[in-house]
Amino acid sequence: MLEINILLLFMIIGAVIAVEVKDLLSSVVAVGAVGLGLSMAFLVLKAPDLAITQLVVELLCLIILIRATIRKDLPFSTSGRWLFNTLSTICFLAIFLTFAYFALKDLPQFGKPVMRVAKTYVEEGLSKTGAANIVAAIILDFRGYDTLGEATVLFTAVIGVLAIVRRIGRKKEGKNEG
């Protein structure tokens, strides 16, 4: 699979730029490029549902991140134990990648998935649910509990954002001071 490797190299280059560049706005734009590369990779991997969702989610994520970074400073301080921190992080990642190399050998070969559960879904999905899109049949019928949990997490995140940004607490502070 040459296409997916090229897309992955593009994503890695974008991620390195996003991590290392000093300007925050450039960093956010680079991570947007990584997300769009991921969307294209999903399209190559024959997952059109994921490609559409990743594309639109990436747009909204970019808007929210730009809202956070606009007109904010970037403290780029290299004081302290710079060498020790970098070396220990790189050592940890090298050990992690070495073990990952040995662990990945035992996975099934790329391009030959073990479809033990999914065989039932593919064969009986149309007759049991009547939906032509097998992914929709799985997330809303066979694995409905999964989607229910997702809805709960989304609800909790929305409530958390609304509780963090509300202005009632700040009014009390102003009354105490003035």
Partner 1 sequence: MKAKNEPGMTLIVKTITRLTVGLILLYGIYIVSHGHLSPGGGFAGGVIIALSFVHLMLAFGKDVALKKLSMSFAGLLESMGAVMFLSIALLGFMGGYFFLNFFSKKGLPFHLFSAGIIPFCNIAICLKVGAGLFAIFVSLVLLYKTDE
Partner 2 sequence: MLTYFLCFILFSIGVYCVLRKRNLIKIIIGLGIIEYAGNLFFALIGYRTEGRSPILTQDQAIKNMVDPLPQALVLTAIVIGLAVTALMVAIAIRIYEKYGTFDITKINKLKG
Q: Which of residues 130-169 bind partner 1 (CB under 8 A)?
A: 130-133, 135-137, 139-141, 144-145, 147-148, 151, 154-155, 157-158, 161-162, 165-167
With CB under 5 to 8 Å by kind, the binding choice for 130 among partner 1, partner 2, none is: partner 1
Q: What is the C-alpha to C-alpha distance for residues 139 and 155, in angstroms, rounded to an integer?
A: 18
* Per-residue three-class SS string for 84-101: HHHHHHHHHHHHHHHHHH
The site map against partner 2 for 103-132 (x = CB under 8 A) is: -xx-xxxxxxx-x-xx--xx--xx-----x
Q: Give 115-120's long-range contacts (Cβ < 8 A, gap of 24+).
A: none
Name which position in 48, 90, 92, 120 contacts partner 1 (CB under 8 A): 48
Measured between alpha carbons, how far is residue 48 from residues 5, 36, 55, 128, 173 in Å?
Answer: 19, 14, 11, 23, 50
29 sits near partner 2 (criterion: CB under 8 A): no
Shorter beta-carbon distance to partner 1: residue 57 or 94: 57
Least gap, CB of 125 to partner 2 (angstroms)? 8
Q: Is 77 left (phi over 0), alpha (psi -120 to 50) or beta?
A: beta
Query: Which does residue 92 touch among partner 2, partner 1, none (CB within 5 to 8 A, set by kind)?
Result: partner 2
